[in-house]
Amino acid sequence: MTMRNFLMSAFTAVDVIRTKRDGEVLSDAQIDWVVDAYTRGQVADEQMSALAMAILLRGMTPAEIARWTAAMIASGERLDLSGVPRPTVDKHSTGGVGDKITLPLTPLVAACGAAVPQLSGRGLGHTGGTLDKLESIPGWRADLTNDEFSAQLRDVGAVICAAGAGLAPADRKLYALRDVTGTVEAIPLIASSIMSKKIAEGTGALVLDVKVGSGAFMKSVADARSLARTMVDLGCAHGVRTVALVTDMSTPLGHAVGNAVEVAEAIEVLAGGGPRDVVELTLALAREMLAAAGLADADPAAALADGRAMDTWRAMVRAQGGDPEAPLPVAGESETVRAERDGYVAVDAYGVGLAAWRLGAGRARKEDPVSAAAGIVLHRRHGEPVRAGDPLYELRTDEAARIPAALAEAQAAVVVSDPRTVTSPLVIERVG
């Protein structure tokens, strides 16, 4: 009898669900079996939904999370990047509003001598997706073969693309299920989802950007710290040098929230300008990535200033079929909202993300289309003074019928008050 046949005969989904439901620790064999059986379709979605909810409510020990992650990795292939001549380092953000950091960061770190194998995802709900943003560039494609992926890493040093179907397929199934069963927030499942893909992609080092605040999945610093610690430990246990920054996502990053509007803002950063907070976080993460790759002496600020990062951006976009010089899509409809009184602006990330989603920049289901041109441009940032009649923000969409619902979300998210609103530090702490 093979080990797989033994495992198939040794467990049932109901027994595994009951074990976790009752607060007990899953054995290595139970975890290996249920992840494998679910990937092959022998555990039904409703059974894995019940297990995911039990994990959300009961938690997992560090050993359980490590084994669950290993089982997710083992469900598919693991890329071999040993042929890449540069040190490899990746970055992952847990998701936010206006979080276009991957766009300038990937070519910037590559311009400093590392290779960045960035496997990214699509937006869902109020959070934006890197691939959706890049697909607003005419001709750019997200899907690469493993050979194309490796060749671009060798030739350009930077790739941003979708994960291949063979990489942690268990995570692909479970991720879609978690989104529709109210189990997205389970720290063990977040950590294993992120780290199984990042470890399977074969990077030598990894920097995590763990968001906290209204626009993030983690609402408290304690939860964000716990998630960061869990993922750092998982990465290090699998031989990947891993550190994390816990960063604020109570207000959007930058002025732009959407797809093409965020690409335009990222290009401003690569050109040596851009919003102060976007530049600050890009450089902070770049320094961490370069240090993790053994390139601590490199100066990412200089690579932004002298144009090397922009050159790498253009080469990266061209390598994936895009035209870096082509005009970005422009929305057919827009509405500018102005301040009705003097005061100070307060901006809530979650509400702005919902407004951008209402305009068509995001999706409710993974198969939904998104509008490249839709989004919001903030004319005043959180904590800034404003006078009556000054523009606060602009709504952009291809469908005028979307504006009223988006406007209702935006009016609740961007308000003018008398006292100056407090701004939080962008980088809250480092976990490593």
Asked whether the predicted pLDDT for residue 389 surpasses 50, the reply is yes
Report residue 231's pLDDT band, with 50, 70 and 90 as the boundaries: very high
Burial (Cβ within 10 Å: 0-12, 13-18, ≥19) of residue 423: middle
SS3 category, 343: strand
**313 and 377 inside one domain:** no
Look at the block and give the residue holding tokens 């990042």: 198
What is the chain's mean pLDDT, rounded?
Answer: 94
Containing structural domain, residue 276: 89-166+179-319
Please report, for the domain that includes residue 402, its CATH number. Answer: 3.90.1170.30
**Does 337 lie in the same domain as 314?**
no
152-163 in b/e form (b: 16+ CB < 10 A) is bbeebbbbbbbb
Domain boundary among 319, 348, 372: 319
Q: Which residues fall within 8 angstroms of residue 157, CB to CB, at 6 or more apart?
A: 86, 110, 111, 113, 114, 115, 116, 312
Domain boundary among 267, 285, 319: 319
| Residue of 91, 133, 172, 178 with catalytic role | 178
Catalytic residue among 75, 193, 196, 250: 193
Section 422-428 average pLDDT: 89
Question: Confidence band (pLDDT; 50, 70, 90) for 4?
Answer: low
Q: Is 417 a catalytic residue?
A: no
Is 121 contained in some domain? yes
**Predicted pLDDT of residue 237:** 92
Q: What integer pLDDT is reported at residue 295 of this predicted model?
A: 98
Told to judge if 122 belongs to the known catalytic residues of this protein, a careful annotator would answer no
Q: Give a yes or no: residue 226 inside a domain.
A: yes
Share of the chain above pLDDT 70, in %: 97
Q: Which of 32, 99, 132, 171 is catalytic?
A: 171
Residue 429 within any structural domain of the chain: no
**Active site (annotated) includes residue 396:** no
Which pLDDT score, from 0 to 100, does residue 405 have? 97
Per-residue pLDDT, 93:
95
Residues 347 and 306 occupy one common structural domain: no
- Number of domain units in the chain: 3
pLDDT value at position 294? Answer: 97
Clarify whether residues 193 and 51 are in a common domain. no
Angle of CA points 261, 265, 270, to nearest 5°? 145
- Whether 238 maps to a domain, the answer reads yes
Q: pLDDT tens across 282-303, in order?
A: 999 999 999 999 999 999 999 9
What integer pLDDT is reported at residue 355 of this predicted model? 97
The answer to whether residues 314 and 358 belong to one domain is no
Q: Which of 92, 133, 198, 211 is catalytic?
A: 92
pLDDT at 9: 57
Same domain, 52 and 99: no
Range picked from 127-131, 214-218, 372-376 for highest mean pLDDT: 372-376
By percentage, how much of the chain surpasses pLDDT 90? 85
pLDDT at 7: 47
pLDDT of residue 5 exceeding 70: no
Q: Which pLDDT band, with edges at 50, 70 and 90, does 165 fall under?
A: confident
Is 379 designated active site? no
pLDDT at 362: 87
Residues 236 and 158 in one domain: yes
Catalytic residue among 197, 358, 380, 402: 197
Question: SS3 of 314, please?
Answer: helix
Q: How far apart are CA 195 and CA 189, in angstroms?
A: 10
Domain-ending residue, one of 319, 348, 364: 319
* 193 catalytic per annotation: yes
Domain with residue 188: its CATH number is 3.40.1030.10
The answer to whether residue 141 is domain-embedded is: yes
Residue 289, in any domain of the structure: yes
Do 246 and 383 sit in the same domain of this protein?
no
- 280 and 141 together in one domain: yes
* Statement to judge: residues 213 and 101 lie in one domain: yes
pTM above 0.85, yes or no: yes
200 found inside a domain:
yes
Q: Is residue 430 domain-resident?
A: no
**Of 102, 123, 105, 124, nearest to 114 (Cα)?**
105
For the segment 13-70, what is each residue's pLDDT rounded down to a tens digit?
Answer: 999 999 999 999 999 999 999 999 999 999 999 999 999 999 999 999 999 999 999 9
Query: Are 120 and 233 contained in the same domain?
Result: yes
> E strands, 348-390, where?
375-378, 385-386
Say whether both 143 and 16 belong to one domain: no
pLDDT score for 385: 95
**pLDDT category of residue 254 using cuts at 50, 70 and 90:** very high
Are the C-beta atoms of residues 279 and 240 closer than 8 Å to each other?
no
- The confidence score (pLDDT) of residue 374 equals 97
